[in-house]
Amino acid sequence: MAVPVGGGKEITVVSGRSCDFIQGLASDGTNVYWTSPSSGLVMKAPIAGGVATTLVSREAPFAIAVAGNSVYWSNMGHPYPTQTQPEPVVSTIEKTAASGQETETLATVPDAGESVWAVAADGTNVYWLAAVKAWWQAGPTTLMQAPAGGGAPLVLASGDMFGASLAVDTTSVYWTEPLPDAGPTAAALLRVPIGGGEPATVASNLGNYPFAIVGKTAYYAAGPSGNVISSVSIDGGSPVVLAVADGEVSDWLLGNGKSLFWLELKGGSDFGIYRLDLK
């Protein structure tokens, strides 16, 4: 379990086989949603803890986001898309009702072989990062936007980016880029206006780990093992340590305004989803 430091009480939402090889995590304030590429599943469970249920079964669901009554996720076509395949893998952006009853394809990534490592949504649009590389690596990446109801995608930004996380608020879309002079995992947090515009640096003290934007605050995992849950104002200021996890925050960290959720890996194979209530 994580140990709160200046934060609140940590609660286990779900653990064990239901969390087998999680790669995406999202919440609507009532449920937590996640993807398991190796199992080909999109699943959900109550944030207070409870039974996990399957929403969708497809080839390789990966990144995930939720807005309103819809769940947005990327289908990679193969659970290990960075490995050599007989044919280039084609990724798609899918939309599923939170009830799991309906699924539709919103967009197809135009370049075969590109993977969608991160997805964000605000109910009006869906956003994603596409690249021919692993999510933890920096490299040429494209940030895209498309209408949540379907329509032509728009390029918001491109360049050397990490694919670990993507977030959106009422005005901007956020991502991280490498800071080579500060170390191999050092990263800066950037944003670009929804609909396009000039990118701007928000903070430069992050690592290449998941982050979340809640109001005027960025929450992120830091430290050599990615186990230090911290926060910093997007308007500037010093970082604050909120919690120190026993294991590595191996995948997505997100917030719903009241709590933070993250996937924690302990002992090399034991995954669990954890919640930290904000004061």
pLDDT, tens only, 109-147:
876 567 888 899 999 999 999 887 665 666 778 999 999
Predicted confidence band at 248 (pLDDT cuts at 50, 70, 90)?
Answer: confident
C-beta of residue 189 within 8 angstroms of C-beta of residue 218? yes
Location of structure tokens 């086989």: 17
CATH superfamily, domain 3-277, is TolB, C-terminal domain (2.120.10.30)
- Over residues 28-45, mean pLDDT: 86
Residue 165 has pLDDT above 80, yes or no: yes
Residue type, 263: L
Q: What pLDDT, on a 0 to 100 scale, did the predictor assign at position 135?
A: 59
Task: For residue 38, give Cα distances in angstroms to 22, 61, 127, 274.
Answer: 9, 9, 24, 21
Query: What confidence tier does 195 reach under pLDDT thresholds 50, 70, 90?
Result: very high
CA nearest neighbour of 163 among 46, 29, 24: 24
Is the pLDDT at 223 greater than 90? The verdict is no
Of 40-49, 144-153, 245-254, the one with minimum mean pLDDT is 245-254
Q: Over the chain, what is the mean pLDDT? A: 80
Question: What are the sequence ranges of the domains in the chain?
Answer: 3-277
Identify the pLDDT of residue 5: 41
pLDDT of residue 122: 95
- Return d(Cα 262, Cα 248) in angstroms, integer: 10
Q: What is the pLDDT of residues 5-26, one digit of tens each?
A: 445 666 667 666 555 567 778 8
Instruction: Look up the pTM and report it.
Output: 0.82
Q: Would the pLDDT of 3 be above 50?
A: no
Question: Once rounded to an integer, what is the mean pLDDT over residues 221-230?
Answer: 78
Q: Torsion angle of alpha carbons 27, 32, 35, 41, nearest 10°?
A: -130
